[in-house]
Amino acid sequence: MSPPSMPVLAMAATGAELMKAEAELWCHNFGYLKSVAPRCAIKLGIPNAIHRHGGLASLSELHAAIPIAASKRPCLSRIMAFLAASGLFREEIVPSDGTAAVAEPWYHLTAASRLLVDDDDSTEGRNCVSQLFTSCSSPFYFTASQNLAEWLQEDDGAAASRTPFTMAHGADFYDVVHRDAAFAACFDEAMGSDSRFVLEIVVREYGEVLAGVTSLVDVGGHNGTTARAIAKAFPHVRCSVLDLPRVADAMPADGTVEFVAGDMREFIPPADAVLFKVWMDYGALTNDG
Ligand SMILES: C[S@@+](CC[C@H](N)C(=O)[O-])C[C@H]1O[C@@H](n2cnc3c(N)ncnc32)[C@H](O)[C@@H]1O
C-alpha cells in the first residue's frame, strides 16, 4: 500500500503558510471561548434583553438593560462582537438615531440565540434550551475533559472503570449529581428544557410514530418530563419510566406515569414502544460501551 501524499508543512513551507497554520492553532487554543461566551451572555440575560426589544437591540440599549460594572462597560461591545463573529447574534452597524455621526452596533437574535430566550410568554419556555447550554458548558465537564490524554494512557484493565470525569471529580457523573444539590438542580433543569423543546416538535410534527402504540417505556427517563408530555399529548399511550433506583424511587407518583426502578442492562419493562432519549452511561466508556 502506498503512503498518503506528503503533508504541506513537511515540505518547505512559506512564511505565509506557517503564519496561517499558527493562526489556525490560535483558533483551536481559544476555541473554548465559543462555549464560554454564550454562557456569559445567558448569565447576563442578553438574549432576553434583545428579545424584549423586539429581537433587535443597540449596544446602548443593552447597556441600559444589563447590569455591567461601570469600569467594564467597554468590554460588553467586545463580547458582543465575539458572539456575533461566532454566529450567535447578527451585528449591524448603523447610525444610532439617523443623525448621529458615530455609528453604533445593533444586534439581532439569530435562530440559535432565539433558543436562549427564557422569558417568551408566547411559548412559555418550551422553545428555550438555555438551561441545557448552561449545564453542558459547566466547569464540571470542562475540568473532566482536561484529563482525556491521561485517561487514554492509563491502563486500568478490562474493567476500565475510570473515566475523565471520575479522574477529575473522584466520583462518577451520577454520584456527583447525587451529592451536589446545585449541580443536580442544573442537570434536572437541563434535561427538562431539552425534553420540553424536543417534545414540542415531536408532538407537533411526528405524532404518527405513536399510531397504534398503547404503551411506552422511557428508558433512563429521569424525572418523567418526556413521558408526562407524551402521556398528555397522546392519552391513549400508557407511559412508564425506567430509571436507576435512586432516581425512580425518589419520584412521587402522580397518576400520569409509572416509575419503575431498575438497571436497563438487566431489565426493561415490556411495552409497545421503548424510548431512549439522551441516555448516557458515563461509567461505561469502554471499547464496546
Ligand atoms: C442524561 S439523563 C437523560 C434523561 C432523559 N432521558 C432526558 O432526555 O431528559 C440519563 C438518565 O439515564 C439514567 N440512567 C443511567 N444509567 C442507567 C441505567 N443503567 N439504567 C436505567 N437508567 C439509567 C440516569 O439516572 C438519568 O436519569
pLDDT digits (tens, 9 = 90+) for 156-192: 776 667 889 999 999 988 899 989 999 899 999 999 9
Task: Kindly give, in sequence order, each residue whose CB lies less than 8 Å from that of residue 50, ignoring residues fewer than 6 positions away.
Answer: 56, 57, 62, 89, 107, 108, 109, 113
Whether the predicted pLDDT of 283 surpasses 90: no
pLDDT of residue 98: 59
Look at residues 279, 249, 246 and name the one whose alpha carbon lies nearest to residue 264.
279
Q: Cα-flanking dihedrals φ and ψ of residue 147, to 5°?
A: -95, 10
Higher pLDDT, 167 or 288: 167
Strands (E), the chain: 56-58, 89-95, 103-109, 215-219, 238-243, 257-261, 273-276
Burial class (CB in 10 A: 0-12, 13-18, 19+), 80: buried
Question: Contact at 8 Å (CB) between 198 and 205?
Answer: no
pLDDT of residue 281: 59
CA distance 246 to 223: 11
Q: In sequence order, what are the beta bridge partners of 94? A: 104
Q: Cα-flanking dihedrals φ and ψ of residue 158, to 5°?
A: -60, -30
pLDDT of residue 5: 75
Question: Among residues of the chain, what percentage have pLDDT more than 90?
Answer: 73
First-last CA distance in the chain: 32
The C-alpha cell that represents 226 in the structure block: 418526556
Residue 53 to residues 14, 212, 245, Cα–Cα distance (Å): 50, 46, 46
Q: How confident is the model at residue 288 (pLDDT cuts 50, 70, 90)?
A: very low
Distance 65 CA to ligand 1 centre (A): 39
Per the rule left: phi > 0, alpha: psi between -120 and 50, beta: everything else, 179 is alpha
pLDDT of residue 2: 73
Structure confidence by residue, pLDDT tens digits, 14-49: 999 999 999 999 999 999 999 999 999 999 999 999
Sign of the torsion formed by the C-alpha atoms of 273, 196, 35 and 108 = positive
pLDDT of residue 124: 66
Amino acid at 249: D
Taking 3-state DSSP, the helix, strand and coil percentages for the chain, each rounded to the nearest 5, stand at 50, 15, 40
Q: What is the pTM of this model?
A: 0.85
Look at residues 284, 228, 271 and name the one whose alpha carbon lies nearest to residue 252.
228
Report which ligand 1 atom has the smallest distance to the Cα of 246: 25
Q: Which of 222, 226, 257 to mutate to test the pocket of ligand 1 (most atoms within 8 A of CB)?
A: 222
Question: Contact at 8 Å (CB) between 241 and 224?
Answer: yes
Task: Kindly give, in sequence order, each residue whose CB lies less than 8 Å from that of residue 216, ignoring residues fewer than 6 positions away.
Answer: 210, 227, 230, 237, 238, 239, 240, 271, 272, 273, 274, 275
Report which ligand 1 atom has the smallest distance to the Cα of 275: 6
ipTM of predicted assembly, 2 dp: 0.98
Task: Kindly give, in sequence order, each residue whose CB lies less than 8 Å from that of residue 75, ignoring residues fewer than 6 positions away.
Answer: 68
Report which ligand 1 atom has the smallest distance to the Cα of 264: 20
Higher pLDDT, 191 or 102: 191
Structure confidence by residue, pLDDT tens digits, 191-225: 999 999 999 999 999 999 999 999 999 999 999 99
Distance 209 CA to ligand 1 centre (A): 22
Task: Kindly give, in sequence order, each residue whose CB lies less than 8 Å from that of residue 151, ignoring residues fewer than 6 positions away.
Answer: 162, 163, 164, 167
Pocket of ligand 1 (CB under 6 A): 174, 191, 194-195, 220-222, 226, 242-244, 247, 263-265, 277-281
